[in-house]
Chains A and B, each alone.
Chain A
Amino acid sequence: MAEQTLSIPQLIAVGLIGFFLIRWLFFSPSSNAGNRNAQASGARQTAARRVDPQQVEQVAQMFPQASRRDIQWDLQRNGGSVAATVERVLSGRLEMAPPSFQPLNLTPSPVAIATTTSRTSTPHKAKYPDLITRYNLGSRVKATEAAASSTSPAPASKQGWSQNKTERQSLMQQRKEEMILAARRKMEDKDKQKAP
């Protein structure tokens, strides 16, 4: 008798009820939310999913080295806690956002737009002074140019470790300067070979 209780009309009835149940469960709340969004500017729903761009901006200004995307990713994961994100960046544990992460509302403040556009549009513009200026090597460059005719080999930079702290420091400085000047000399020599 048990088999007969599952007749075809009953199956259809169960199927229909199931269909409407699923429809009601999954589709009506979202359409309601959509209406609410339209009416009440969607503040709550977006807060749950999205991150306040001002918060992203706030963290990004504190740590210009961290990417906005990673900050947003972290903020989203910890529910928009700026303090927690700052803590993570400070401890060096800010994770990279996975490539699948799509920043939803990347509508940065005008400041951010200005910085990003200036950054993207001028990758060709120099941001840093050259090493000769930075290491104050102008006079030594001229000195080597004057002595260029003799093409003296670079003086062998002193290797090794000094027990004296200040001596170590000055040796280090000296070796850095040598490295830069040697690179410049090499590049100039190459230019000369190319030119004639």
Chain B
Amino acid sequence: MSASVAAKRLFQEYRLLTNDPPEGIMAGPVNEDDLFSWEALIQGPEGTPFEGGVFPAILTFPKDYPLAPPTMKFTCDLWHPNVYPSGLVCISILHAPGDDPNHYEHASERWSPIQSVEKILISVMSMLAEPNDESPANVEAAKMWRERRKEYEELVRQNVRRGLGL
């Protein structure tokens, strides 16, 4: 029952995203037979070292979506303070309310059924531009971003080029 609700909602979001995609974002099911696994492509925001890059990610939705948030995992080399070395993205919109014992994040920033895939991807795009230093997922990247910004940016640019096969 809940799985069919989730599938309906995902299908609707897929249609909306296809008809009216936000700038630099593309997302949809890897295979329409399984609506719970999506691939997204995100362009690097301009004016950042990620500019010009295209970053693929896999979104995995739970069966009780939209009650619970999906997980998002980049399937490319992404050097960023809020992305685990495994590629898993750590931002507040992907956390269900109540997941944060320290109350770093406001409830309004976190996942709720009124959020959407589009909002997640837009948040991730702005996360690329502005890392959140408070809860780093990749401690080394966070350190580099904080202390050796030049090196960080150079590394990100190298990954962007390599991702495009240049």
Contacts and interface: CB of A to CB of B under 8 A. Distances in A.
Contacts, number: 106
9 contacts: A65-B73, A65-B88, A92-B71, A123-B79, A123-B140, A126-B77, A130-B163, A133-B165, A188-B166
Interface size range of chain B in the complex: 35 or more
Contacts of B77: 126-128
A184 B166 contact: yes
B101 A179 contact: no
A168 B18 contact: yes
A131 B86 contact: no
Interface stretch (A13-21, A27-35, A95-103, A106-114): A95-103
Interface of A: 64-65, 67, 91-93, 95-96, 98-99, 119-120, 123-124, 126-128, 130-134, 141, 159-161, 165, 168-169, 171-172, 175-176, 179-180, 183-184, 186-188, 190-191
A9 to B, nearest CB: 51
Contacts of B69: 92
Given A64-B86, A128-B75, A160-B19, A187 B161 contact: yes
Contact of B164 (A64, A98, A132): A132
B37 to A, nearest CB: 14
Contact of A141 (B68, B137, B141, B165): B165
A119 B41 contact: no
Given A65-B86, A161-B18, A183-B53, A95 B99 contact: yes
Contacts of A130: 162-165
Contacts of B31: 169
B71 A65 contact: yes
B164 A131 contact: yes
Among all A-B residue pairs, the 3 with the closest Cβ atoms: A132-B165, A130-B165, A184-B164
A130 B54 CA distance: 10
A67 B165 contact: no
A80 B73 CA distance: 28
B102 interface: yes
Interface in B131-161: 135, 137, 140-141, 155, 158-161
A127 B84 CA distance: 14
Contacts of B52: 183, 186-187, 190
Given A64-B86, A159-B19, A168-B32, A93 B164 contact: no
Nearest to B99: A95
Contacts of A119: 85
B28 to A, nearest CB: 5
